Amino acid sequence: MNKKIVMINASPRIEKNSNTNKIIEAFGQGLLQGGCSFTKYAISNRDAWEEIRQAYMDSTNIIFAVPLYVECVPSLFLEFLEQLPAKDKNTKVSFIL
C-alpha cells in the first residue's frame, strides 16, 4: 500500500536557505524507502498558498515541518494556519520539530 503524504515546510526561509528543507528531504527519503510517496510544499512561497491549502484539504496524511525559534513558531506559519479550513477527524496531521 502506497501511502501518500503531504509535507509542508513551515519555515519562512526560502527553500534553498532552509535547514528545515534539508530535514524534510532526509525524512522524505526514509518515507520512500518505507514505500510511501510524498509531495512537499513551502509556505515561504506565498504564491503557492492556494495550492498548498488544496493539497492540505485533499490529503489525509499531512506533516508540518516546523523550525524552532526560541520556543515559538514563525509568524508566517501561524498566518498560514489561520487560513486553513477545518478538516475531518480522519486526517492525520503530524509535526516535525
Examine the pLDDT at 95 and tell me if it is beyond 80: no
Report pLDDT digits (tens) over 24-64.
999 999 999 999 999 999 999 999 999 999 999 999 999 99
Q: Is the pLDDT of residue 7 over 80?
A: yes
Q: 69: pLDDT confidence band, cut at 50, 70 and 90?
A: low
Domain region containing 84 = 4-96
- Give the CATH number, domain containing residue 55: 3.40.50.360
| Confidence at residue 70, expressed as pLDDT on a 0 to 100 scale | 53
Alpha carbons 33 and 71: distance in angstroms, whole number: 32
Burial of 61 (0-12, 13-18, 19+ CB in 10 A): middle
Q: What does pTM read for this prediction?
A: 0.83
Instruction: Give me the number of domains the chain comprises.
Output: 1
All residues at 6 or more sequence positions from 74 whose CB lies less than 8 Å from its CB, including other chains: 10, 11, 12, 66, 67
DSSP conformational letter for 44: T
